[in-house]
Amino acid sequence: VDKMEFGRIAAGNGKQVIIQGLREAERGKVYDEFNSKQHEILTGVVSRIDPRNGAASLRIGTGAESTEALLLAGEQVPGEPLEEGMHVKVYVVDVRHSTRGPQVLISRTHPGLVKRLFELEVPEIFDGSVEVRSIAREAGSRTKMAVWSREENVDPIGACVGPRGQRVASIVDELRGEKIDIIKWSEDPAEFIAAALAPADVVEVRMAEEGVKACRCVVPDDQLSLAIGKEGQNARLAARLTGYKIDIKPQSYQPGEDEDDLFAAAAAERSAALPEEPGDEEAPEAVEE
């Protein structure tokens, strides 16, 4: 810039423009840093807990690229105590632009948190020889996880459990005692559903007609409550894990002739969801009759 006189207002405006540009560059750098860490696990330090709504502010990252992230009450595990200064592992759900800078959305209840914890603990999952096919989770209570091995000589369940259960035990400790059921994924839906209802034994699985994702599972009379679980939790998680509607019946059950069958109801629901063919509508005269 040539030697010239700047007034006080012009110098102040120039200063503000430079500061604004630096702030935007810093925000852009932080956004790029955390955007690349979406769906990953980060460790944050609890800096403040809002007494009104229970939301916790966490400081994640190190140095100049650290930022504040808000762990909402709905994304916290029910009953899990959080205190200022505590180190907590969180799952990065999304990173968004906002007027106050990048906004990092984090969670402790997301099923992806369990998957990433197993990747950290189990080398076979990290290198891809064991694959996590499906996860169903009720945070703070129970998780069901279906695993599958690409190699015949690798036991997927044994790899996740670890010697003397050390690998899964460290994950349970991180999740504050949440129970984890690990089952073997199968291409056969009946076999997969039977495994998903563990710890209950399944005598028979009757699949619905092709195209209807529903089944009926027959279990021993003394294991009916075990298959359903407390407040229906076991059956609910199994249905979420497999993607099938599951009807559980005891071995002594005898279906009645006029019973509203699960398969018929599922088929009717499926046909109702299909778009109507043109020309199928009744004529107004027929409706009036």
- All structural domains of the chain: 8-107 (2.40.50.140), 110-185 (3.30.300.20), 187-254+262-273 (3.30.300.20)
Helix (H, G, I), strand (E, B) or coil at 282: coil
- Amino acid identity of 259? E
Q: pLDDT > 90: what percent of the chain?
A: 12
Please say if the pLDDT value at position 286 is more than 70: no
Note the pLDDT of residue 154.
87
Please say if the pLDDT value at position 146 is more than 90: yes
* pLDDT confidence bin for 268, thresholds 50/70/90: low
Other CB atoms within a 10 A radius of the CB of residue 168 amount to 19
Arithmetic mean of pLDDT, 45-60 = 86
Query: Is the CB of residue 270 less than 8 Å from the CB of residue 212?
Result: yes
Half-sphere exposure of 50 (CA within 13 A, CB side): 11
CA–CA gap between residue 120 and residue 213 (Å, rounded): 34
CA–CA gap between residue 118 and residue 182 (Å, rounded): 11
SS3 for 110-123, per residue? CHHHHHHHHHHHCH
CA–CA gap between residue 194 and residue 242 (Å, rounded): 10
The pTM (predicted TM-score) of the whole model is: 0.73
* pLDDT confidence bin for 285, thresholds 50/70/90: very low
Q: Is residue 80 exposed (0-12), middle (13-18) or buried (19+ Cβ within 10 Å)?
A: middle
